Amino acid sequence: MKELYLVFLYKMKNNYKYSSDKFQRVELTEEAIKLADLYIKEKVVGKSSLEDCRHIAIATINKVDVLASWNFKHIVNLDKIKGYNSVNLRHGYSMIEIRSPKDLIKYEKD
């Protein structure tokens, strides 16, 4: 049985309202597994971060605009982001934008 992930597919031109039509269920594919394994093989992170790598690979392959995470150790970390994007570019994928959820909050004008 394949694992299912809920990936936030959001177009930056919209304002940041989280309605259910902004989400799409996607599968963990062989392509995502291979890309996640490359992140580990190329030492972006260690083997214990496999699930984090799978989330990033799924988001990369599905071309999400921004991957939001509270994981500052393995995901929202400048050196790690550079590593993920280096692997992505060398293997024909686009760069991925990774941010903290607090960076995505749009405040109303007073």
pLDDT digits (tens, 9 = 90+) for 38-50: 999 999 999 999 9
Instruction: Name the amino acid, one letter, at 96.
Output: I
Residue 36 near residue 49 (C-beta atoms within 8 A): no
Looking at residue 109, the DSSP 8-state letter turns out to be: P
CA atoms within 13 A on the CB side of 41: 7
Residue 85 near residue 39 (C-beta atoms within 8 A): no
9: left (phi over 0), alpha (psi -120 to 50) or beta: beta
Q: What's the whole-model pTM score?
A: 0.78
| 4-8 and 67-68 beta bridge pairing | unpaired
Distance CA 98, CA 101 (A): 9
pLDDT one-digit tens code per residue, 72-98: 999 999 999 999 999 999 999 999 999
pLDDT at 103 over 60: yes
